[in-house]
A and B are shown apart, each in its own frame.
Chain A
Amino acid sequence: MTDLIDPVDRAIINDLQSGFPICSQPYAEAAARLGIGEDALLERLRHMLDRGVLTRFGPLYHAERLGGGLTLAALEAPEERFEAVAAVVNAFPEVAHNYRREHRLNMWFVVATETPERIAEVLAAISERTGLKVFNVPKIEEFYIGLRLDL
């Protein structure tokens, strides 16, 4: 699916995943760095957003530093009711991401809440409504949160 983007798009993505200029005319500055025109950069960003190659263009926030709570949790959903359990878990507005993964603990989800205290309440509610034990594996230390992808 990489044919969705050409080499110029790729250069834009690699260059602009971080360090976007915070100045009066940032697109002009970023475009100069990439050796293309400002209009061309804006047009390509718009096009990649329209096609869903980019989720968005802007900030990524650190939940805890914004004052909120964030954790990763997992549960072991029986195969025969996996879909039903996923529907229950996904219905919680605090559940941001949810992935099926290869393990006995087959459902892994991120919970983000308004306050750190609220995490325990949401996990308890998920456990109660699914009838399953929820494994909470909160972060102790961050070594890298770059989330960069070099194309």
Chain B
Amino acid sequence: MVVTWRDRRLIEALADGLPLAARPYAELGRMAGMDEDEVIERIQAMIAKGIITRFGVIVRHHELGYRANAMVVWDIPDDDVARVGEAMADFPFVTLCYRRVRRPPLWPYNLFCMIHGRERETVLEQVEQVARGCGLENARRDILFSLRRFKQRGAIYRRDWPALELAAGTGG
């Protein structure tokens, strides 16, 4: 059991976000049937365990003018991918970086990173910066800009749970 039933009650109370009130954790506690101290401890514990990856504002990239959303994929030798992934994650404009399973021949790529930018040209220049910075000038790569967003919502984790906002593999 990763989360207890009391954590679950708290997660349900948090489904609509943190209340915009002077003492939001006390308010959440009233909704979940626990006191403010317990709410604070449980949220801190979930952050410490990595169950909550981030706690704060969640922006809508597109509405803020970040319309150039690129999934940049690379074919990196398996014995070098950890080094490259770590190096790639250091670029401030890289918002996600994962190693994934390859599906050759159509999909030979094993390293994915996301770059969100206002202009396509800026993003393309940033891809070049990553390639130079990580020594990947000759690596096979592809840039998949998003053309249209069909669906973006809090993902369902359990049918009887509220839709939760997940740190998913691609987005924006």
Contact = CB atoms under 8 A, between A and B. Distances in A.
B170 A149 contact: no
The interface residues of chain B, by DSSP majority, are classed as mixed
A105 B106 contact: yes
Contacts of B17: 49, 56-58
Nearest to B144: A101
A105 B85 contact: no
A35 interface: no
A5 B64 contact: yes
B139 interface: no
Interface string B82-113: 10011011001111111111110011001011
A127 B113 CA distance: 26
Nearest to A12: B57
Interface string A27-71: 110000000001000100110110011111111111101111011
Contact size range, B = 35 or more
A130 B107 CA distance: 20
Query: How many interface residues does chain A have, given as a range?
Result: 35 or more
Contacts of B54: 17-18, 59-60, 146-147
Interface in B109-144: 110, 112-113, 116, 142-144
Nearest to A108: B170
Interface in B59-87: 59-61, 63-66, 69, 71, 81-82, 85-86
12 contacts: A59-B43, A70-B169, A90-B151, A93-B159, A99-B148, A108-B144, A135-B103, A136-B101, A137-B112, A142-B99, A143-B88, A144-B96
